[in-house]
Structure 1
Amino acid sequence: MGSSAMHIARTGLDAQDMRMRVISNNLANVNTTAFKRDRASFQTLAYQVVTAPGAASTSETKYATGLNLGTGVRIQGTSRIETEGSLQTTGGALDLALDGNGYFQVQMPGGTLGYTRAGNFSRSPEGQLITSEGYQVMPGITFPDGTTNITIGTDGTVSATVPGQTEATQIGQIQVASFPNAAGLQATGDNYLIETSASGTANLGIAGQDGRGNIRQGMLEGSNVNVVEELVDMIETQRAYEVNSKMISAADEMEKYVNQNI
C-alpha cells in the first residue's frame, strides 16, 4: 500500500511541476506582443478495478458502486486561450493589430508559411513589408523608393504617396488568415504558429469579412496574460505540490512502521 501511494503521489508531483512550467511561461511572456496564455489540462491514469459495479456480493445481491482504485494523474495537454489582448496605441505606421479573429501570414525560412498576430512590422532595404526577424508578410507588399505617408485601412488596403505623385496610391492589400480550429495551430517560438492537421487549412481573405478581424494601424495587441490570475494559479499549484510531497512522506512512514513492527 505504501509504494502504491508513493507512485500516485509521484505522478501528482510530475503533473504539478509541468503545470508550474506552463504558468511560468505565461508570466514570462506577460509583455510579449499578442502572446496567448496556455492552460494545462489534467487527466486521470488508468483505474484498477477491484470490484466491478453490479458484481454479485452474495447469491442474491449485487454491489451498488464497486471498488475502483485510481493510479494517479498526468498532464493531458495544454490549451492556448485565444481571447484577444488589449490594443495598445503606438502611432507607428507599420504597427498593425488585428481587432478580432485571424492571423497575419508570413514566409518563413525553407518556404514554410507561419502565422502570427504580432504586427510589429517594418520595411526592408528592398522596400518589402517584413517582420522583426526579416520574414516577408504574405501576400507580399513592396513600397517604392521614397514612399511616404503610408496608410493602411481596416480592410488591409495599403496606400502611400509615391515619388512623382501628389495623391496617395494603392500599392497592395494585406490579407488575414483564418482557420477552422485556430487552437490546433502549433507554436514554434518567436510569436509564430504553423498549420497542423488539427487546425485545418488556412483560408486567406480580406480583413473584416467572413468572421476575420479588422486591421488597426498604429496599434499593437498586448498579451492576454492576467498576472493576478496566474499568481493565484501558481499558489494553487505550489500547495498541491506540497500536499503530494507530504503524501510521499506519509506513505514512507507507514511502510517504515510495517517493516519494523510486523
Structure 2
Amino acid sequence: MLRLRPLANSRLGVRSFTSARSALNEAKKSSNANPQQQVFDPRFIGLTRDIYIPVSYKNLPNPLTSPRAVWRSLIRRLYTLGMNTVQVALMRYQTGMKPQFLLWKNRAIERYVAINKAFAAGDIKPVEKEVSVWVEKALKARVGSIPKGVKLDWKLVKFNEKPKLVAFRPIMLPGRPVEYAQAVYKFNTQQELINVNLKTDKVKKIDRNVTDYVGFVIDLDTDKVILAGSVFENSPEDRIPKPEDIDQSMIFKDMKLNGDIYRAPAQPALKEPSSSN
C-alpha cells in the first residue's frame, strides 16, 4: 500500500496533528513496554474543541431580525463543507487509499447501537475495546450511578433522517504515516427507553427524538471504527476555531468532557443586564 510522508507542518492538518500528538504522549506515558516495542493505541484519541459543527437550518435565528448571524452561519457551513472535502483529498494523497465512507458509516451505526444497548444493560465490558478510553471511563461512571433496583432496555426505533457525515480529517501523528482518520456523524433518531422498577414492577416507557453528533476514530488499514466521544452543534455566534487558537492545556480536559456521551449540552452563559445611567 502506498504510504507518503505526512505533511506534519501543513496548515490543513495542524488541528488533528496537535491533538493527536498529545494523545500519543499520553499513550506513551501509560505504556511500560520498551520504547522500540511501543504501539500507539488509537483509543487515546478523543474529541477536542477545534471540531466545528455547523448550525442546523432549524436552529438559525430569524433572518429578519438577525440577518448578519444567519449569513455568517451559512458561510461557515459552506467553509466547513469545503474543508471536509480538502481533508478527504489530503488523506487520499497521503495514503493512496480510496475512502470507504459507506462501510465506515455502517460500522459507526453498529458501534452506536451496541454501546447504547450495553450501557442500558449495565455491562460495558463487551464494548470496551470499541470506545476510546475517555468514553470508557465516562460509561463506567454512568453505569455505577444507575440505581440497583432499576433495569433499563434501549432500542433504536428508526432514523428520522439519513446519518450524515459532518466533519472529517486525517489524524497526523508525529513521525508516522497517516494511519487513522476522525469522523463525526449526525444521528437524528427516534429511540425507545424502557425503565423497569424491580421493586414495584412498574414499567416506564419513554419514546423520544434524539440528535447526536458522535465522533469516531477510523483505522484506515483495518477499517475498524472506535467511538471517541460526542460534541454539540455550535451556536450562530461561534467562530470556526483557528489552529493558533488551540489551547494545548485544555486538550485532555476536552477529551474527557466529550467522552461523556450522555451529558447534557452546556447552557449558554446569561449576559448581565447593562446598568443605565
TM-score normalised to the size of structure 1?
Answer: 0.25
Larger radius of gyration: 1
TM-score normalised to the size of structure 2?
Answer: 0.24
